[in-house]
A and B are shown apart, each in its own frame.
Chain A
Amino acid sequence: MSQVDLPLVPGDVAEPAAGEAALPPKLTAAQRGLERIWATPPGWGRLSSVNHTVLGRRFIVAAFVFFAIGGALAMLIRAQLASPRSAFVGPDVYNQIFTMHGTVMMFLFAIPMFEGLAIYLLPKMLGARDFAFPRLTALGFWCYLFGGSILIAALVMGVAPDSGWFMYTPLSSNTYSPGINADVWLLGVTFVEISAVAAAVELTVSILKFRAPGMTLATMPLFAWYILVTAGMMLVGFPPLILGSILLELERAADLPFFDPTRGGDPLLWQHLFWLFGHPEVYIIFLPAAGILTTMIPVLARREILGYSWIVVAITALGFLSFGLWVHHMFTVGIPHLALSFFSAASVLVAVPTGVQIFLWLGTLMAGRPRMSVPMLFVVGFFLIFVCGGLTGVMLAIVPFDWQAHDTHFVVAHLHYVLVGGFVFPMLAAAYYYLPHVTGREPLYGVGKLAFWLIFIGFNATFLVMHLTGLLGMPRRWAVVPEGYGWDWPNLVSSIGGFVMTAGFALFAADVLFQIRFGKRSKPDPWGAETLEWATAIPPRPYAFAAIPAVSSRTPLRDRPDLGAALERGEGYLAEPRNGWQETLVVSIADGQPEHIAILPRPTFLPLLTALAIGAFVLSLLFKLYWFSPVAVLLVTGLLLAWSGQTGQRQDHGPLSAGMGLSLPLHAEVERPATWWGMLFLLVADATLFASLMFGGLFLWLVAPGWPGPAPLDLPWAPAVGLLVSAIAAALLGRAALIAVPRSTRLAAALLVAAAFAHALAAGCAILIAATAVPTPTLHAHMAVSVAVLGYAALHGAIGAVLAGLGAWRCLAGYVSAKRSADVRTGALWHDYTAVATLLAMGFLAGLGRLAPLRELASP
C-alpha cells in the first residue's frame, strides 16, 4: 500500500497553555496520527492548505475585510449626499464609489461569506471529515482573493469600474467607457465567478455524497438542504453572467458587436443576461442566511423546527420561482404587458414560499421557550427588517407602481432592507452563535447588545427615510442632491443613520477581536445544540471527527449526548489512521448507506499556483498583453494536469476495513466516485452557459435592429461535416476505451489517444469554419454570435483533447485497471457532452442562417 511522508505537527499533543483556547486535554494515539495526516503545515506551508476548516475561516475573514471596504465606500456615498450640492467628491469619483460599493458587497462579501460559512460548517454538520474536492475549495479561495484584489487595486489607482454594479451597456461599452474601468469589472468579477462555480460543484457533490452513514435526505440538517438548493441555483444562475461578461469583454476588446444596435446587437441582451443571474442572486444570498436561521432558531427556542418537509418544499419552489423574476428589473424597457404580467405574477408568487418559512420560524419560536441572547436579538432584527423589505418587494413587483418608483431611492431602500435584513443580520447572529465553535471562547455579550442597537437604529434611520426620498422622486446614483425638491433633510437623516450604523459594525468588529484575545473558554456545546457540528472539539481539529459517527435522526446529540466524547475515543468509522491517507466516508444519496472510502488530497501549493496562473491570464487580458495570454493558458493547463498526479491509486486494494465491522472499497475502485459527480454538475453549468448563448443569438435575431445582416452565413460543408464526424468519433472512442479497460489498459490508452486526435480535429474544423465563413465577425452581431458558437465548440474540442490525453496517460501510468475505471468513465462524460453540444451548435448555426431572412417579415 502506498505510504505518504507526514510532516511533524508542532504542538499537536501539547497540553493547552494558559490563555489558549479550549482544546482536548490530551490526544489519543489515533488522534495524534490523524493530526499528522490532516494538519496544515506551518510557516509558508499555510499557503498549501486544503482543509475546509482553515479555508472556511479564510473565506469568512476575507469576506469581512471586503465588507469593511464596501462599508467605507458606503460612508463616502453618505458623506457626499449629506448636504445639497456637496463638493466632497466629483461625479467621476462618485461613479466609481457607488459602483464599487455594490460590486464589493454583492460579489466580494455576500457570496464568499456564505461560501465560507458553508465550507466551515457543512462537513461538520454532515459528519464528514472534509469536502469532496479540497483542492477545488483552495483554488476557489485564491481566485476569489486575487479577483477581489484586482478590483480593489483598481479602486486605489482611480480606475475602478464606474458604470454601476450592473454595468449596463452602452454605458459600459467602449464608446462611453473607453478606459480599463469596465474591463476591471468584467475580468475581475469573472475571476471571482470561477470561485463561485467551483464552490457550487463542491457543495452539491459534498452534500449529496459526503455524509455520515445513516444520514438520509430526511434526516439531513436543513442547512444542508438550503445550501443544496443554493448551489443548484448557482450552477444555473451564474453562467448567464459569465457568458455576458465574456461577450461584453469580446465586444470591448475585439469589437464583436453583441450589444451594439448599429450592427445588429442590442443593449437589452446584456440586461437579460445580467438579470438572469442578478435576480436569482438575491435568493442565492438569502437562502444560506435562511438556512442558518433555521439552524439557530430551534436551538434558541429550545424546540425542534416546525415543518421540516414544508421547508424543503418551500425552498425548492423558491429556487425555481426566483428564476422567473428577472424582467421585473426591466419593467420600463418596453416589453409587452402580457409578458410583464408573467414576471409580475412570479414576483408576487415568490413571496409565498418565503412567507411559509417566516411563519414556520415564528411558529417554532412561539411553540418553544426562546431565550433572549445576542444571536436572538439579531434574529429579531432580521424578522423586522426583512419582512419590510419583502413587502416593498411585492409593491415593486406590481408593474404600475414599479414604473413610478423605478431607479429612485425607493428601490435602493428596498434592496437594502432585503439584503441587510435578509443576509447581514442573520450573518451577525451566526457570528455570535458560532464564534465559540471557531475560537473556543465565549463572546462578551454586553458589547454585542450595544452593537446590535447601533446597527438596528442606524440602519432604519438610513433606509426607512430613504423610501421617502425615493417617493419624493430622487433618482438613484445622482452625485449631488439638488436644492428645492425636499430631498435635503431625508438625505441628511440617512447620512447620520449611516454613520450610527457604521459605529455599530465597528463595535462588532472590536467585540470579535476582543473575544478572540480575551474571551473565557467556552463549554463544548454552549447553546445546547443537537446537531453534529457541536460534536467536534472547539476549536475543531483539522480532521473534524476522530471517528465518523453513525446517525439515525435529525438530532444526533439528543440521541446520544456523549457522542462527542465517544467519537474522541474512536467509537465510530475510520477511527484508525493508515498509510497517511486522509480518509472519509461516502454514502448513497438518498438513504445514506456507506458506499466507499474517499482518500482526499493532502496540502499542496498547486491551487495557489493555478490561481496565480489564472490571474496572470486575467491581467494579460486587462492590460491587453495578448501575446502573453496563450502562454498563461498553457501554464494553467499544465498546472491543472499536475493536479492529476497527486490523486488515484496504482494498485487494487479491494475492500478495506472502515471500522465497526464494515469493509468498503476505495473511491478509485467504484464506478462513480466524487469526480464523476463533479464533472456531471460542472457540465450542468456548462450547458446553461451554452443555452444562454443560443438564447442570446435568438434574442438578437428577433429583437435587435438591423437584422438580417449584410451577408448570409454560408457554412462550408467539408469542415462542417469534419467537425460533426470528429466530435461524434471522439465520444464513441471514449466509450470504446471504457469497454476496453477490463481487457487491456494499453488498448484503452490507444483508443483515448485516438479520441484526443478526434477532439483536436474537431477544434481545428471549428476554427477553420470561423475563419472561412466569418471572415469579418465585427461586421454584424449575426457573425459575432456565429464566431462565439464556433469558439465554444472549438474550446470544448481542445479541452476534450487534453482530457482524453490525460486519460491515456493515466491508463499507461497504472492508475486505471478493470476495477479502477472511473477516470475513463468521468472523461467519457465530457466527450459525450462535447459531441451533443457540437451537434446542437451546428444545428443552431444552420437554423439561425435560415431564420435570419425571415426577420424581414417581422414588424420592427
Chain B
Amino acid sequence: MIGQRSAANLLLLTAGLVIWSSAFVALYAALSVGCAFGWEAVRIGPFSLQRLVLVGLWLVHLGLVAGLVLWMWKRARRSPDGDGLAGFLGRTSLWAGLVALAVTLVNYAPILGLSACL
C-alpha cells in the first residue's frame, strides 16, 4: 500500500502514462513483426492474426489503465480534500490516470479501421 504522503505517489502520477508507453512500444513492435512475417494473411475467423494480436494488446493495456484508474479513484476518495499534500497527490495521480486512459483509447483507435501493412 502506498502512503498518501509517500514519495511513491510520484510513481503513481506516471503509472498510467507508463502503461500508455508500453502499449506504444508493444503495438509498434507487433505491427512491424506481423507485417514482416505475413500475419495479415493468416485468417482466424473473420479477422486476420495481425488484427487480433493488435486488438488484444490494445485491450490488455486499456484494461490495465482502467484498473489503475479505478483503484486510484477509490484511493482519492479516501484522501482528504483541499490543497493539502495527500489531496494534491491523490488528485493529480487520478487525473493523470484519466488522461492516460483517454490517450490509450484515442491514440490506438486506428487499429480498428486502417489496413495494417499498406
Contacts and interface: CB of A to CB of B under 8 A. Distances in A.
A695 to B, nearest CB: 9
Interface stretch (A456-464, A585-593, A829-837): A585-593
Contacts of A726: none
Interface in A288-325: 309-310, 312-313, 316-317, 320-321, 323-324
Among A309, A338, A590, A859: residue with most chain B CB under 10 A? A338
A177 interface: no
Contacts of B103: 317, 321, 346, 349
A218 B84 contact: yes
B35 interface: yes
Q: How large is the interface on B (under 10, 10 to 19, 20 to 34, 35 or more residues)?
A: 35 or more
Contacts of B28: 339, 342
B106 A345 contact: yes
B107 A338 contact: no
B48 interface: no
A25 interface: no
Contacts of B83: 218
Interface in B1-54: 5-7, 9-10, 13-14, 17-18, 20-21, 24, 27-28, 31-33, 35-38
Contact of A339 (B13, B31, B96): B31
A394 interface: no
A337 interface: yes
A33 to B, nearest CB: 34
Interface string A829-858: 000000000000000000000000000011
Given A313-B96, A349-B107, A703-B32, A338 B7 contact: no
A309 B79 CA distance: 15
A321 B106 CA distance: 13
A43 interface: no
A595 B67 CA distance: 35
B92 A345 contact: no
A218 B10 CA distance: 12
B17 A342 contact: no
Nearest to B7: A589
Nearest to A854: B37
B107 A324 contact: yes
Contact of B89 (A218, A339, A349): A218
A321 to B, nearest CB: 7
B85 A590 contact: yes
Contact of A317 (B99, B109, B118): B99
Given A218-B83, A589-B7, A345 B96 contact: no
A342 B110 contact: yes
Given A313-B96, A349-B107, A590-B9, A338 B115 contact: yes
Interface in B60-118: 83-85, 87-89, 91-92, 95-96, 99-100, 103, 106-111, 114-118
Interface in A162-176: none
Nearest to B88: A218
A218 B96 contact: no
Contacts of B91: 309
- A316, A346, A591, A859: most-surrounded residue (chain B CB, <10 A): A316
Contact of B36 (A313, A342, A588, A702): A702
Contact of B99 (A313, A342, A857): A313
A858 B87 CA distance: 53
Nearest to A314: B99
Nearest to A699: B32
A341 interface: yes
Contacts of B21: 320, 323-324
Contacts of A337: 114-115, 118
Contacts of A859: 35-38
A679 B114 CA distance: 45
A713 interface: no
A337 B96 CA distance: 29
Contacts of A11: none
Nearest to A691: B25
B35 A324 contact: no
A336 interface: yes
Given A316-B13, A336-B117, A590-B89, A342 B27 contact: yes
Contacts of B108: 342, 345
Contact of B88 (A217, A317, A336, A341): A217
Given A336-B118, A702-B36, A345 B110 contact: yes
B85 A336 contact: no
Q: Determine the main DSSP class of B at the interface with A.
A: helix
Interface in A349-363: 349, 353
Contacts of B118: 336-338
A692 interface: no
Contacts of A321: 17, 103
A336 B84 contact: no
A859 to B, nearest CB: 6
A48 interface: no
A660 B8 CA distance: 29
B106 A336 contact: no
A343 B110 CA distance: 11
B10 A345 contact: no
A217 B114 CA distance: 43
Given A341-B114, A590-B6, A316 B88 contact: no
Contacts of B111: 338
Nearest to B36: A858
Nearest to B114: A338
Contacts of B96: 313, 316-317
A291 B38 CA distance: 48
B80 to A, nearest CB: 12
Given A218-B85, A342-B24, A590-B5, A336 B35 contact: yes
Contacts of B87: 218
A137 interface: no
A216 interface: yes
Contacts of A323: 21
A354 to B, nearest CB: 13
B20 A320 contact: yes
A277 to B, nearest CB: 16
Contacts of B106: 345, 349
A336 B35 CA distance: 9
B17 A317 contact: yes
Interface in A378-394: none
A341 B109 CA distance: 9
A55 B31 CA distance: 48
A266 B20 CA distance: 28
Contacts of A309: 88, 91-92, 95
Contact of A591 (B27, B31, B85, B116): B85
Contacts of A703: 32, 36
A591 B5 contact: yes
A341 B110 contact: yes
Interface string A688-713: 00000000000000110000000000
A342 B37 CA distance: 21
A345 B109 CA distance: 9
A286 to B, nearest CB: 18
Contacts of A336: 31-32, 35, 116-118
Going nearest first, the 3 A-B pairs with the smallest beta carbon separation are A589-B7, A218-B88, A341-B110
26 contacts: A217-B10, A217-B89, A218-B83, A218-B87, A218-B88, A309-B91, A309-B92, A310-B95, A313-B92, A313-B96, A317-B100, A320-B17, A320-B18, A324-B21, A336-B118, A337-B115, A338-B115, A342-B28, A342-B108, A342-B110, A345-B106, A346-B107, A589-B7, A590-B6, A858-B36, A858-B37
Given A217-B89, A341-B114, 7 more contacts: A313-B13, A313-B96, A324-B21, A341-B110, A349-B103, A590-B5, A590-B6
